[in-house]
Chain A
Amino acid sequence: GEDVEQSLFLSVREGDSSVINCTYTDSSSTYLYWYKQEPGAGLQLLTYIFSNMDMKQDQRLTVLLNKKDKHLSLRIADTQTGDSAIYFCAERVGSARQLTFGSGTQLTVLP
């Protein structure tokens, strides 16, 4: 079955870059997503990457995809305190576009 893994915690200093890593197992995934969850809130889509791409950049966000190793990463440049949240990677699987989520990485930005 599908399985998506992430490390649970990451702490960085304000202004530094954050890199959140994710591994997935379903090689048939067409889209991979990064969602952000702030305390007490729902999930907000940050960015996504199509499986035939290696990299996608969107302002401060850079997504890297290594299909051979089934590894996905999210880099946040110039991390700010407002970036403190839980970040989920997810792969789209199935004909109904179901998402399989990782456990989430709690990013803490220190002043």
Chain B
Amino acid sequence: NAGVTQTPKFRVLKTGQSMTLLCAQDMNHEYMYWYRQDPGMGLRLIHYSVGEGTTAKGEVPDGYNVSRLKKQNFLLGLESAAPSQTSVYFCASSYSRSGNTEAFFGQGTRLTVV
């Protein structure tokens, strides 16, 4: 089982460039999330989606856009990259059913903006 797959794993961007990070899950999960991880700050939620065609802002959404055109994919876009967006980005997904629903994480994308 692939679980949650993120593409690419590493990327270096110049300030002002744009890019899209792809997250794909094969578990038929309804909910998907994008987090960023910075040293000493844990993971912070950027955007999330509760289903195909829906997105919502998290704690730190500025400078990012997302799209969920297909249930299994959740894209994170940076229109004009800034050095402050240097971080490790994690995608996660989970079921929407009641009770404990474990979030499964991808392996992360390490992005450096120079």
Contacts and interface: CB of A to CB of B under 8 A. Distances in A.
Interface of A: 4, 8, 31, 40-45, 48, 50, 88, 90, 95-104
Given A42-B108, A50-B100, A101 B48 contact: no
A20 B41 CA distance: 17
A102 B42 contact: yes
Interface of B: 4, 31, 33, 35, 40-45, 48, 50, 56, 58, 90, 92, 94, 96, 100-103, 105-108
A103 B40 contact: yes
A103 B50 contact: no
Contacts of B102: 45, 48
Contacts, number: 55
A36 to B, nearest CB: 11
Contacts of A31: 100
- Please report whether the interface of chain A is mostly helix, strand, loop or mixed according to DSSP: strand
B48 A96 contact: yes
Given A42-B90, A43-B90, A45-B102, A98 B107 contact: no
A96 B31 contact: yes
Contact of B105 (A43, A96, A98): A43
B100 A48 contact: yes
8 contacts: A31-B100, A42-B106, A45-B102, A88-B42, A97-B101, A98-B45, A99-B92, A101-B35
B100 A41 contact: no
A21 to B, nearest CB: 15
A44 to B, nearest CB: 8
Given A96-B31, A98-B33, A103 B56 contact: no
A61 to B, nearest CB: 15
